[in-house]
Each structure stands twice: as structure tokens, then as C-alpha cells.
Amino acid sequence: MRERSLLRLAPLALGTLVVPFDSALNVAFPAVTVAFALPLPAIQWLIIAYVLTYGSLMLAVGRIGDIWGHARVFRWGLITSAVALLLCSLAPSYPLLLAARVLQGISAALVIGCGAALATSLYPEAMRARALGAYAASFAASAALGPLLGGVLVELWDWPAVFWIRVPVALLSLWLMRHHVTPPRDGPRESFDGPGAVLLALGMASLLLAINRASLPLFLLAGLALGGFIWRSLSVTRPILDLRLFRRPGFARLNLASLLINLAGFAVMLLAPFYLARIAALPPAWLGLVLAGGHGGAMLGSALGGRLGGGARVAWVGALLAGMGLLSVAFWSSGTPPALLLACLLLQGFGIGLFTLAYTDMVTATMRREDRGVAGSLTLLMRTLGVVLAASLLTLVFGAGESRALAAGAAPEGAFLAGFAWGFGLAGILPLLALLLIPRKTA
């Protein structure tokens, strides 16, 4: 891919930035709780309202993009993002902020549900892996900017800045992409399965919330809705997602491997900030820099994976490096130097970047070119499921390890490190288990 051709991705990467830059919001949590006089547990709904919305809509949005054009859906996502982000920054109360976050979740689904498909449409099929690698690298770079700039934005202009700063970015991308059109499909326009989309959205929202809340009624609702979606998908000509794909050799295993690796990788954003603040006692600027190391590693891994052409071997190497990096984090102690902390996060991030690029390329290659929006959305859905599972499972494992150490008479710092080691021990094993699931090919 020539340097000049890489510039064709710039407007797309710029517009996509509005989604992964949401990592800046983590830094603003304390300011939000003060502004609205919230108890600490209430802040979780700021994430839940957002993740539930885009997680439940992504597959349907991908299908809409495949039918009506990825560029058109992406531009609508930018418009909706600008409105939602402005409303978030102006919200006078916490309930209205949560309502604006739901709208932001819809906009995020519109943007990232078609982003990968739009990236591949800009280049010939032979350059698919490199296009995906460049797009994934820009996504990881945007996520790395969040914790780096979030603290500065909050210090200068308070918590609304992490929202309104993205409004001009969305509008600039919208202007730069004003002439871009998705290449026309061959043949007549396919139908959109509206009832299937509703069942899928209800099922995914119920499932994600059930995992987070450990609610049996929500699990039952999710089972009924997803069961209805499966029945519907097998009875219509063009469903939201062709479930027959999971009968192909290795396809289901590949997606399960992605879920495990995304579950493991979220341990960094879930547990590492507490170590860096409580044990390493890093100032906010250094804390953000070390955390950004994981995203920086993912950016490098994605770019290299694209140049290597993706495939099973790249996925295997990525899973192995991710596991090694996460296991090394489990051995952090009160005396671990910051340079080593950064190196461990770079290693696991690099491995996850390699795997994610290879996985996305393998899924994309398995599905029809006409279904690239659904393919990209499926990869993001596995990431979302992994993140939600991590928030529940890794928190339980950390708590069990910490409680056991406290019961044995450990000091608070020692008990924290014990729980931390348990959490990252599990996180490090999961990518190694994923190695056993990655197929040589999926079709």
C-alpha cells in the first residue's frame, strides 16, 4: 500500500476517532461524580447505557450498511455523534446525561458498525489485510489518546470537555467524506429483516445487562429473544447474520477465541489503573502514559499484522504474546519499575493487536463481500461480549484473591497484590487457551 494511498483512510480514521476516544471518559469519572453528587457505584451506568446500546445494535447496523451503503450509514453516524456528544456536554442532570449516552451509543454503532467494511472498500481485495491493519492501528491510536489527553481536558475545562472536544472532529470528518460513496452492489437491493433485528437487539441488550447484573430473569429474557432470533434467521432468505457460517470448519472456534482474548485484554483497563494509582503511586500524567502503552502496542501489532497479511499464523503469534504479556503483569510488585510496567503492557497490547487484525481478516475473508458490514460488526460484538464478561468475571476473581489474602492476615497492600495476581493469572491463561481454538482456516 503506497504512502499516498494510505491518505485515503485519513477521513475515515478521523471520524472513527469519536468512538475509541471515549476512553478519556474513564479519567473524568471522579469529576462527573462530584458534579452530580453521585455515589460511586452509580457511575457504572454511564458505561452500561453506552455499551448496551451499541453492543445490541452493531450487527443490525452492519447489515443496514451492506444494503444501503457503508458510507451513507457512516456519515449518519457522524451527524448523530456530533449531536449526542454536544448533548452529553450540556446535560444539566445525570438522568439526561444517561439519555444522551444512549444516543451516543446509537451513533457509535453507526460509525464502527460500518468502519471496517468502508476501509476495505477503498482498496482492491488483495490489499484487504493491509487496509484493515491501517484502520485497526488508527483505532488503537485513538484509544491511546483518551487517557493521555483526558486528564488535561478535565483539568482545563472540566468533564464536559471529553465530550464536546469530539464534535468538531466528527464534523470535519463529515465534510471530508462528503463525496465518498460506497461502490454499488451487483443485482437488486436485498431486504432487511426488521423483526430479526428487533429480536437480536433485545436479546443482546438483555444478555449484556444480565451478565453485568447477574440477573436470572434477564438471562431468561435474553434466551427467549435470541432463540427467537435464531428461529427467524433460519426461516428467512437474507437474515441479519447467516448462522450457517458457524457450521463452517473453525468459524465458531475462531469467534470463541476472540471472545476469550478480549475478555483477557480488558483486565488492563479494569485492574491496572488501581495498581498504578495505589501501589506504584504514579501521578496522573504518568498513569495515563503507562496505560496508553497497551493501546500503543495494539497499534503497532495491527499495523505489522496487516503487512504480514493476517492469517492463522499471525493470530497464533498474537495470542501467545498476549498471554505472555498478561502473565508478566501478574508478577508486578510494589517495587516494579515504571519502565517494566510499560514494557509488559506494550507486549500484551502488541499481541492483542496482532490477533485482532488476523481474526478480523479471517472473518472478513469467510463472509461474502456483500456482507462486509456484518463481518466487521461481528468482530466488534465479540469484543463487547468479552469486555462485559471481563467486568464481571475478573472482578469476582480479583475479589476472591484479595479476600483470601486478607483472611490469611495479609496487609491491605499485600492483599491487593494477591487479588491482582489472581486476576491477571486468569487473564494470562485465557489467550493460551485461545491458541487451541484458532483454526488453520475457516472455509
Secondary structure (3-state) at 270: helix
Q: pLDDT at position 48, please?
A: 83
Mean pLDDT over 37-41 rounds to 76
Q: pLDDT at position 295, please?
A: 86
pLDDT digits (tens, 9 = 90+) for 287-321: 778 888 888 899 899 989 888 887 889 999 999 99
Q: Which residue has the cell 497490547?
A: 349
Q: pLDDT at position 222, please?
A: 93
Domain boundaries, the chain: 1-191, 194-235, 245-443
Mean pLDDT over 186-203 rounds to 83
Q: pLDDT at position 188, please?
A: 66
Helix and strand element counts for the chain (H, E): 18, 0
Mean pLDDT over 276-288 rounds to 79
pLDDT at 323 over 90: yes
pLDDT at 330 over 90: yes
Q: pLDDT at position 374, please?
A: 81
Mean pLDDT over 21-30 rounds to 83
Q: pLDDT at position 46, please?
A: 87
pLDDT at 29 over 90: no
Mean pLDDT over 322-335 rounds to 94
* Residue 261 CA: distances (Å) to CA of 19, 254, 322, 379, 396: 21, 11, 8, 12, 18
pLDDT at 140 over 70: yes
Mean pLDDT of the chain: 87
Same fold, 1-191 and 245-443: yes
Rounded Cα distance between 374 and 59, Å, is 6
Mean pLDDT over 155-176 rounds to 94
Q: How many residues does the chain have?
A: 443
Mean pLDDT over 163-192 rounds to 82
CATH superfamily of domain region 245-443: MFS general substrate transporter like domains (1.20.1250.20)
Q: Under a CB-based contact definition with an 8 Å cutoff, are residues 401 and 303 in contact? A: no
* Residue 397 CA: distances (Å) to CA of 212, 265, 300, 422, 423: 15, 15, 30, 6, 6
For 200, residues 6+ apart whose C-beta sits below 8 A from its C-beta are: 56, 59, 60, 225, 226, 229, 240, 241
Grid cell locating 275: 495498581
Indicate the pLDDT class of residue 211, thresholds 50, 70 and 90.
Answer: confident
Per-residue HEC secondary structure of 163-200 comes to HHCCHHHHHHHHHHCCCCCCCCCCCCCCCCCHHHHHHH
Q: What topology does CATH give the domain 1-191?
A: Growth Hormone; Chain: A; (1.20.1250)
Q: pLDDT at position 4, please?
A: 45
Mean pLDDT over 16-38 rounds to 86
Rounded Cα distance between 385 and 132, Å, is 21
Lowest mean pLDDT among 12-21, 321-330, 380-389, 413-422: 380-389
Rounded Cα distance between 267 and 291, Å, is 12
Instruction: Give the residue among 410, 416, 431 at the shortest CA–CA distance from 276.
Output: 416
Rounded Cα distance between 214 and 221, Å, is 13
Secondary structure (3-state) at 238: coil
% of the chain surpassing 90 pLDDT: 44
Secondary structure (3-state) at 362: helix
Q: pLDDT at position 185, please?
A: 59
pLDDT at 193 over 50: yes
Instruction: Give the residue among 271, 288, 217, 298 at the shortest CA–CA distance from 391.
Output: 271
Q: pLDDT at position 2, please?
A: 47
Q: pLDDT at position 316, please?
A: 96
Q: What is the DSSP string of 247-269?
A: GSTTHHHHHHHHHHHHHHHTHHH
pLDDT digits (tens, 9 = 90+) for 75-93: 999 999 999 999 999 999 9
Mean pLDDT over 113-139 rounds to 84
Q: pLDDT at position 1, please?
A: 42
In this structure, what are the phi and psi dihedrals at residue 335, rounded to the nearest 5 degrees? -105, 10
pLDDT digits (tens, 9 = 90+) for 375-419: 778 888 888 888 888 877 888 898 899 999 999 999 989 998 999
Q: Quick one: how far is CA 183 from the chain centroid?
A: 27
Indicate the pLDDT class of residue 184, thresholds 50, 70 and 90.
Answer: low
